[in-house]
Amino acid sequence: MDAPPGVVPFDLAGAALPPPPDPAAEPEGFVVLIGEDLRLHFHDWGGPAGAAGVLLIPGLASTAWVWAPVARRLRVVRRVIVMDLPGHGLSDAPYDGYDPAGFADGVSAVIDGAGLLDAPGLVIAGHGFGAVVAAWAALRLGDALQRLVLVDGGWDAVEETSGLDVDEFLRGLDEPPEIMRSMGAFLGDRRGFDPRTWDADQERAARDSVVETAAGKVVRSVRPHALEASVRAMYAYQPEAVLGAVRAPILALVARDDTGGRREVALEAVGAARVAAGAGPIEVLRFPDAGHNLPRYRPDALTAALLG
C-alpha cells in the first residue's frame, strides 16, 4: 500500500470570503517587556469582542507594517496582532537570544501581553523567516494553537534549497547602491515590484524598513547584528524535526518557486515526516504566479486562507 501523501491541497473555494479591507483602521502600538530590559513592539489592530486571535510575524528586514493589507481585512472578524522581531522595527536589538528558545520566548511574551489566549482558536502565521519563528513558537504552544500558517517559508532548509552558504546569503541581502542613494530611489524600486499593489500601506512598510541619513541616503532599519544573527538561526533550522513535532495543523502558502523545484521536494519531505510522526499532512495552497511577498500580492486569498 502506498504511503499517505505528506501534502494535500487546501480548498480555498471552501474557505470563507475575505472581508473587505477597513481603510480607516489604524493599529495601536504596544511594547511587552521580557526579562529586565528587552522590549518587543507589536501592532494591535483590534477585532470583535471575544474573537479568536491571530498573530502575524514578518520576515527578515521587514517590520509589522508588511502585514497591513491582511490585517485590515482580518480585523473585521478576528483579533489581530502583528509583532516586530528582535532588532527589527521598534523592537529592541539585544546582542544575544537569536535562537529557537529566544524567538519562542518573544512570541510567547507578545501572545501573553496582547491576551491572545483569552479566546480559543489562536492562529499564528509567519512570512519567510517569520514562518521559522512561528514554527519554533508552535512547538512551545502545543494544544493552545489551532493552526500554524507558513507563508512562503519555514518548510525548507535554506542552504539546501538556495544552494548558498550562510555567508553568501548574507552578502546577497545587500541592496545595489543606486537603490539606497535616496528615499525616492528606494521607494521607486519597491513600487516597481508591482505598481498595481502599491498604496499607502506599501509605502509605509517600505519607509519603515529603512532610515534616511543626514546625507539623504537610506540604510536598513534592521540592526546589522540582529539581521546576521537571524539569518544564522534560520540556517540552523531543521524543518523536518520541528514541523514533525508541531501538534497543530499546518497550512503552507507557496509562492513562485525559483529554485528548480527544490523547495517543493523539501515541502513533500516535511509533510512525509509529519505523517510518519502521526501529526497529519500539510495543507498547501500555491500561488505560482506571485512572488514571495504574498501579504502584498495576494492579501484577499491570504486572508481567506487564514479564516479557512
Calculate the alpha carbon distances from 261 to 119, 156, 160, 256, 266 in Å: 40, 12, 12, 10, 9
| pLDDT grade for 4, boundaries at 50, 70 and 90 | low
Average pLDDT of the chain to the nearest whole number: 96
Pairing mode, if any, of strands 28-34 and 38-46?
Answer: antiparallel
pTM above 0.95, yes or no: yes
Residues 61-108: pLDDT tens digits?
A: 999 999 999 999 999 999 999 999 999 999 999 999 999 999 999 999
The predicted structure's pLDDT at residue 1: 40
Question: Using CA atoms, how far apart are residues 251 and 9, in angstroms rounded to an integer?
Answer: 9
The predicted structure's pLDDT at residue 95: 96
The predicted structure's pLDDT at residue 308: 83
Residues 192-227: pLDDT tens digits?
A: 999 999 999 999 999 999 999 999 999 999 999 999
Q: What is the mean pLDDT of residues 107-123?
A: 97
The CATH class that applies to domain 7-162+223-307 reads alpha beta
Give per-residue burial for 5-29: e unless 16+ CB within 10 Å, then b: ebbeebeeeebeebbebeeeeebee
C-beta separation of 44 from 28 below 8 A: yes
Place of cell 471552501: 14
Domain extents for the chain? 7-162+223-307
C-beta separation of 284 from 10 below 8 A: yes
C-beta separation of 189 from 291 below 8 A: no
Residues 7-59: pLDDT tens digits?
A: 999 988 877 789 999 999 999 999 999 988 899 999 999 999 999 999 999 99
Q: Give residues with Cβ within 8 angstroms of 8, minimum separation 6.
A: 281, 282, 283, 284
Q: What is the mean pLDDT of residues 172-190?
A: 97
pLDDT at 3 over 80: no
